Amino acid sequence: MPPRYDFRTPRLFVADALSAGTAVPLDKGQSNYLANVLRLGAGDAVLVFNGRDGEWLAALQPEGRKTVSLSIAEQTRPQHEPCDLHYLFAPLKHARLDYMVQKAVELGVSRLQPVTTRHTQAARVNLERMQANAIEAAEQCGILTIADVVEAMPLAKVLETWSDGRVLIFCDEDAEVRDPIAALSVVQKGTPLAVLIGPEGGFAEDERTMLLRQPNVVRLALGPRILRADTAAVAALSVVQSVLGDWS
């Protein structure tokens, strides 16, 4: 049986529409990466995707000393609908936020929503850096869609505009049901989901009260140990995907 994905051919995200016979110009950074870092030459294969038209096989076409384009040949994988899984998180600082964004994308989230809370450590969120990390993770892991990256919002404002149709899975060390599988069993598979991870200092009591007043809230315990926020993200998203997502 052939491999599900081709991980040997370089893979790039582009914004342009993709179809057979078209040419896609690359920006300076992408051109440098293919021609000078990977040392590809004319005619070498590259996989390309845009989050809308599936994945396509293309050939490298140098157009000068510093720029190249891609000649689109044939589709290798059709586009599919991503999981309807939002990830809400209290921002972290620099490298740990980079790691968390990359792992969340690898685990199939469709939306990245920074949420500020009473004990949030990072005051500012670099959305461009988050987007770059989301794209890099998708390029490296064979993912066909790019998660939406949205502006940071206070927790209270997020909950004020919450859709009753989306279940909020709230990671809470004080959850009464200690078994995460049992806690998630009350949710019907196929329901729109959101996973919320708080700051390392935890939620303030008024924030926890506000969360528990929301409709369609599931409290999820993540075991007997205290996890760092980036580790908790991997643990929570893995459990959710295995029980309610596209792993099962």
* Residue 193 in domain: yes
**Which two tokens mark 13?**
């995200």
- For residue 3, the model assigns a pLDDT of 47
**Residues facing 48 on adjacent strands:** 12, 56
* 21-33 per-position pLDDT tens digit: 999 999 999 999 9
Domain holding 177, by residue range, is 85-243
Domain count within the chain: 2
Q: Mind listing the pLDDT tens digit for each residue in 134-187?
A: 999 999 999 999 999 999 999 999 999 898 899 999 988 888 888 999 999 999
Q: Report yes or no on whether pTM surpasses 0.85.
A: yes
Q: How far apart are CA 80 and CA 20, in angstroms?
A: 19
Residue 201 lies in a domain: yes
Q: If DSSP states are collapsed to H, E and C, what string results for 144-205? A: CCCCEECCCEEHHHHHHCCCCCCEEEEECCCCCCCCHHHHHCCCCCCCCEEEEECCCCCCCH
Q: Are residues 136 and 183 in the same domain?
A: yes
DSSP string of 94-149, one letter each residue: HHHHHHHHHHHHHTT-SEEEEEE-TT-S-S---HHHHHHHHHHHHHHHT--S--EE
* 231 and 113, same domain (yes or no): yes
Residue 63 pLDDT class (50, 70, 90 cuts): confident
Residue 1 domain-assigned (yes or no): no
